[in-house]
Amino acid sequence: MIEQTNFGSMPDGSQVTQFCLTNRLGVSVEILDLGGIIRRWLIPNHKQNHTDIVLGYDTVDEYLADDSYLGALVGRYANRIKHGKFSLAGKDYQTDINQGGNCLHGGGQGFNSKVWQCTVLSNSDNPSIMLELTSPDSDQGFPGQISVKVIYTLTEQNRLKIEYFATTDQTTLYNPTNHSYFNLAGHSSGSVANQQIQLLASHYTPTDENAIPTGEISVVDNTPFDFRTPTTINVPLASKHQQIEYANGLDHNLCLDAYTADLKSASYVGKAVAKQSGIELEVYTNMPGIQIFTANHFSNKKGKEDSLYQAHQGVCFETQFYPDTPNQPNFPSATLEAGKDFYSVTEYQVSF
Ligand code: GAL
């Protein structure tokens, strides 16, 4: 079932609509046509009415002022491009610079800030919506007009499937993700430090102090980035490793072992578990990397229902190409050629 409600308006007066997808087991995911934002994700719970497992806001204005990308679809290029500079098909490009001298998440007016065209694909079992957006040539400095589509489907097995499609009229970069901050004990329950994560990744990409990859692909052995067996998040957060100190916590790309080029279906890559709520989230994707980010800079950030979000109150599993890929020839390429179809898929499976 899908219920549509008015969520408010954009500065130009246009309406923002919320689509609430509910399956037969009573799991609901509320998605805005603004930025394709996952605003609430409600898991039935016999002790309370539900547990809302994602961080978010209550108003359009808060989403537009947000620089933390809560729940949003990110594009054209998730993560950082050093100094917003790259060369493609023999030409040099300069993108918008919006964070620390670099391009973050597609520039200052990225896909997260746009109202997408939304179509309901299924209103009964496996409720599903399609969001579409056209980004013109030179938008935020990126080449080519790109037409992108994201399909969200909530299955009857409590899996949220996110499929990304794109075509372009000129060779460009495309690296989309969803930037949900998960807290499986509930968005207002405090730190995720005592929750556990597992990631099937034997390598990671170390960064400099500005979160730009050095270009190395390093083994995770004997580092705080070895999540191959379930690990309490507090363990890396408490580490004195230089990479953790640079980021004030986890904000790193792990190289997923399951990845092979041209993989079209999602493989299991990891999970998160909260013993307090008994909720578990499994992550499946066909992308090569995952940015694991623990909301390191949050401090009294006003969130939904008067919550105040603090550092480490959520954890993101941003499935994507590695950061700064256009400047790192040894990383899997995020180039999308004219006439080629882009497809990627990420699935979040909830058990409770
Ligand atoms: C993450 C990024 C962080 C931070 C965050 C948005 O994806 O890795 O460094 O910028 O987005 O607040």
What are the residue boundaries of the structural domains of the chain, listed by start? 2-351
Q: How far is the CA of 219 from the centre of ligand 1 (A)?
A: 23
Specify whether 282 is catalytic: no
Q: How far is the CA of 62 from the centre of ligand 1 (A)?
A: 17
Spelled out in words, what is the top-level CATH class assigned to the domain 2-351?
mainly beta
Identify whether the C-beta of residue 152 lies closer than 8 Å to the C-beta of residue 161.
Answer: yes
Identify whether the C-beta of residue 170 lies closer than 8 Å to the C-beta of residue 135.
Answer: no
Specify whether 318 is catalytic: yes
Q: Whose alpha carbon is nearest atom 11 of ligand 1?
A: 68
Which residues neighbour 222 within 8 Å (Cβ) at sequence distance 6 or greater? none
* Residue in 104, 205, 301 to alter for ligand 1 test, most ligand atoms within 8 A of Cβ: 104
Query: Ligand 1, closest atom to CA 318?
Result: 7
Identify whether the C-beta of residue 208 lies closer than 8 Å to the C-beta of residue 297.
Answer: no
> Which residue from 43, 71, 45 is spatially nearest to 57, judged by alpha carbons?
71
Segments in the chain forming alpha helices (H):
60-65, 234-237, 242-247
Give the residues across from 38 on adjacent strands: 31
Identify whether the C-beta of residue 73 lies closer than 8 Å to the C-beta of residue 112.
Answer: yes
Residue 113 tokens read as: 């800030």
Query: Ligand 1, closest atom to CA 99?
Result: 10
Q: How far is the CA of 81 from the centre of ligand 1 (A)?
A: 13
| Amino acid identity at 126 | N
* CB of 237 closer than 6 angstroms to any ligand 1 atom: no
Taking the alpha carbons of 316, 96, 131, 67 in that order, is the dihedral positive or negative? positive
> Which residue from 115, 121, 134 is spatially nearest to 16, judged by alpha carbons?
115
pLDDT in tens, the chain (352 residues): 999 999 999 999 999 999 999 999 999 999 999 999 999 999 998 666 899 999 999 999 999 999 999 999 999 999 999 999 999 999 999 999 999 999 999 999 999 999 999 999 999 999 999 999 999 999 999 999 999 999 999 999 999 999 999 999 999 999 999 999 999 999 999 999 999 999 999 999 999 999 999 999 999 999 999 999 999 999 999 999 999 999 999 999 999 999 999 889 999 999 999 999 999 999 999 999 999 999 999 999 999 999 999 999 999 999 999 999 999 999 999 999 999 999 999 999 999 9
**Which of the residues 105, 187, 312, 318 is marked catalytic?**
318
Distances (CA, A) of 63 to 9, 299, 304, 348: 11, 17, 11, 23
Instruction: State yes or no: cis peptide before 76, omega within 30 of 0.
Output: yes
* CB of 69 closer than 6 angstroms to any ligand 1 atom: yes
Segments in 77-119 forming alpha helices (H):
none
Q: How far is the CA of 68 from the centre of ligand 1 (A)?
A: 7
Number of other residues whose CB lies within 10 A of the CB of residue 14: 10
* Residue in 251, 301, 321 to alter for ligand 1 test, most ligand atoms within 8 A of Cβ: 251
Identify whether the C-beta of residue 257 lies closer than 8 Å to the C-beta of residue 201.
Answer: yes
Cβ burial of 87 (10 Å; 0-12, 13-18, 19+) is exposed
Helices (H) and strands (E) in the chain, counts: 3, 30
HSE-up of residue 267 (Cα within 13 Å, Cβ side): 18
